[in-house]
C-alpha cells in the first residue's frame, strides 16, 4: 500500500511466488552481468489484475520525444480507468492505448528517496537514469525473471500467474520524500517497508 502527499493512494498486489530482483542478473548462458549502470532499484512483478487506487507521478516522463508532466492514473482491477496530465495528455493517452497490456502494470520498483541519482536533483530525460531517482512503476510488459520458474514458462503459463504482456514497457516515477509503503502478508499482518521516502527494513 503506497501513500504520498501528492495524492498517491494505491494498493499493488504481487503475483504468487514473485521474486525481487535488482543489480546483477544471469544471462541464459550463465554469464553474470549488470543490465543497468547505475542502478538503485529493487523490482518485482505486480499482478495484472491486482492494482487499485490512484497514482500521482512525481517526475515528468519522457515518451517518444514528448515530456508528459504532472500526470495521474487511476487503477481498478489492474487497469487504468481514468487519467490526466497538465502537459502532453494526448501522449499519455497514446501510451495507454498502445495495446491491451499498456494500461496495466508490468513492474513495481522500490528505491529510497535518499539515493545518489535522487540527490543529484538532475532530470536526465533518460528513463534508465531517471528511474533510479524514486520508486517507480512500469506500464506494459512484465519480466518473467520476477516469478519463480518464469523464464521456463510459456506465455499461457505466465498469464495464469498474473503476468502482463505488452509491446511497451514504460517506467514512470512516483516516489516522494514522504512516501509510505506498508506490506500486507498472507496472514493479514502488516510490515512498514518505507517511511518518509526511505526503506526502514
Q: In this predicted model, what pLDDT tens digit does every residue of 75-96 receive, in sequence order?
A: 999 999 999 999 999 999 999 9
What pLDDT shows up at residue 123? 79
Mean pLDDT computed over every residue of the chain: 93
- Give the total residue count for the chain: 201
What pLDDT shows up at residue 40? 77
pLDDT at 126 over 80: no
Please state the rounded mean pLDDT for residues 63-83: 96
Give the C-alpha separation, 41 to 78, whole Å: 22
pLDDT at 146 over 80: yes
Question: In sequence order, what are the beta bridge partners of 144?
Answer: none
What pLDDT shows up at residue 24? 72
pLDDT at 16 over 90: yes
Cell of 42: 529493487
pLDDT tens column, 148-169: 999 999 999 999 999 999 999 9
| More confident position, 24 or 47 | 47
Please state the rounded mean pLDDT for residues 47-71: 96
What pLDDT shows up at residue 17? 97
Give the C-alpha separation, 17 to 147, whole Å: 6
Give the C-alpha separation, 120 to 122, whole Å: 5
pLDDT at 125 over 90: no
Measure CA of the first residue to CA of the last residue in the chain; give whole Å.
16
- Cα angle, residue 129 at apex, residues 120 and 158 outer, rounded to 5°: 140
Q: How many CB atoms lie within 10 A of CB 59?
A: 18
| More confident position, 121 or 83 | 83
Which segments of 95-167 are extended strands (E)? 105-110, 136-140
Amino acid at each position: 500500500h503506497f501513500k504520498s502527499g501528492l495524492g498517491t493512494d494505491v494498493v499493488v498486489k504481487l503475483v504468487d511466488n514473485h521474486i525481487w530482483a535488482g543489480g546483477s542478473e544471469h544471462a541464459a548462458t550463465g554469464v553474470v552481468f549488470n543490465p543497468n549502470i547505475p542502478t538503485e532499484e529493487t523490482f518485482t512483478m505486480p499482478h495484472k489484475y491486482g492494482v487499485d487506487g490512484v497514482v500521482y507521478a512525481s517526475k515528468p516522463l519522457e515518451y517518444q520525444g514528448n515530456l508528459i508532466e504532472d500526470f495521474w492514473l487511476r487503477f481498478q482491477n489492474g487497469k487504468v480507468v481514468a487519467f490526466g496530465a497538465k502537459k502532453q495528455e494526448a501522449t499519455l493517452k497514446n501510451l495507454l492505448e498502445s495495446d491491451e497490456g499498456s494500461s496495466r502494470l508490468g513492474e513495481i520498483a522500490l528505491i529510497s528517496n535518499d539515493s545518489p541519482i535522487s540527490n543529484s536533483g538532475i532530470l536526465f530525460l533518460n528513463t534508465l537514469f531517471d528511474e533510479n531517482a524514486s520508486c517507480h512503476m512500469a506500464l506494459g510488459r512484465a519480466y518473467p525473471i520476477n516469478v519463480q520458474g518464469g523464464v521456463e514458462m510459456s506465455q499461457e503459463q505466465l498469464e495464469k500467474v498474473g503476468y502482463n504482456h505488452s509491446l511497451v514497457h514504460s517506467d514512470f516515477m512516483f516516489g516522494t520524500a514522504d512516501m509510505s509503503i506498508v506490506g500486507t502478508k498472507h496472514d493479514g499482518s502488516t510490515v512498514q517497508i518505507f517511511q518518509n521516502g526511505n526503506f526502514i527494513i
